[in-house]
């Protein structure tokens, strides 16, 4: 990778979503009401999951799909002090706004956490 490519990667806007943020050295997710932080070095697996739901409506049937970012960690996550420690190798699923946004987030995680398995 050339120096120019590295500068472009470092200055590119981070692919953020309503429930996913990137900080120095960690990814922050909000699966429910609290933000949780996972250091990049603790990520062992990240992938996208698409779940489909069929809804019966008066005029017929509608198929809906939801896109989730799924993260697995090696250590307990850092959360609020009053919460109990989260067990090792926990899997967290966070809803995303779109599949292309999820692909951008996975590409960023792959750059920041080279030891993590990305994808299936």
pLDDT tens-digit map of 28-68: 888 888 888 888 888 889 999 988 877 777 777 777 888 99
State if pTM tops 0.75: no
pLDDT at 78: 55
Is residue 64 within 8 Å of residue 55, measured between CB atoms?
yes
pLDDT range class, residue 79, cuts 50, 70, 90? low
pLDDT at 47: 94
């Amino acid at each position: 990778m050339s120096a120019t490519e590295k500068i472009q990667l470092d200055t590119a806007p981070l692919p953020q979503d309503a429930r996913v943020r990137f900080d120095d050295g960690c990814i922050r997710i909000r699966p429910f009401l609290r933000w949780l932080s996972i250091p990049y070095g603790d990520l062992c697996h990240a992938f996208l999951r698409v779940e489909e739901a069929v809804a019966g409506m008066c005029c017929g049937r509608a198929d809906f799909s939801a896109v989730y970012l799924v993260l697995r960690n090696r250590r307990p996550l850092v959360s609020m002090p009053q919460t109990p420690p989260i067990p090792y190798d926990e899997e967290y699923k966070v809803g995303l706004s779109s599949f292309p946004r999820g692909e951008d987030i996975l590409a960023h995680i792959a750059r920041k956490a080279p030891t993590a398995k990305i994808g299936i």
